[in-house]
Amino acid sequence: MNEGNSQLLAQLQDIHGAGAPGWWPPAPGWWLLALLLLLALGFLTRLAVRKLAARRRKKAFLAVLDTLNSELNPEQDAHEYLARLNRLFRVVAMKAFPATGCANLQGEPWVRFLVSLLPEKAESSSLSALARGPYEPLPEFDHRALNEHARTWVRLYG
């Protein structure tokens, strides 16, 4: 070998590994994982906000019902009691079933709508006071049964 080649060979170094990879920017898989986690967090937050709003709404409806029962005596102010109770049923129904056209129902169709959505034990005889009560001079109805139906209605659909 000649002297030029030996100098060139002396300049060569051993094979060495690459340096440790940096932490930034992350690999594409980590970006995808971060995006999926953000989407899941957003979905769970939205779900929790909806659930909290529904719980607050139900609590407010039940407070309205409690106020109604404390302010009015169903035996003395029967018409006002039935009107306010019917309004509570209607507000809950319009919130829970906006596309059914329940806002336009009156009388017996309204009572049938309510009975169809209440549990099996609901009897239409006590709820029929909502349909006929406003037109009777002294309506007779079981206010405890109506109150219980209203509580069930709010718990299910409020």
Q: Give the pLDDT confidence of 45-55 residue by residue, as tens digits.
A: 999 999 999 99
End-to-end, the C-alpha distance of the chain in Å comes to 95
Distance between CA atoms of residues 86 and 131, nearest Å: 9
Structure tokens at 50: 């909806």
Q: State if pTM tops 0.85.
A: no
**What percent of the chain is modeled with pLDDT above 70?**
97
Residue 107 Ramachandran class (φ > 0 left, ψ -120 to 50 alpha, else beta): left
Residue 147: closest CA among 101, 104, 77, 89: 89
Least confident of 48-52, 79-83, 107-111, 136-140: 136-140
Does the pLDDT at position 116 exceed 70? yes
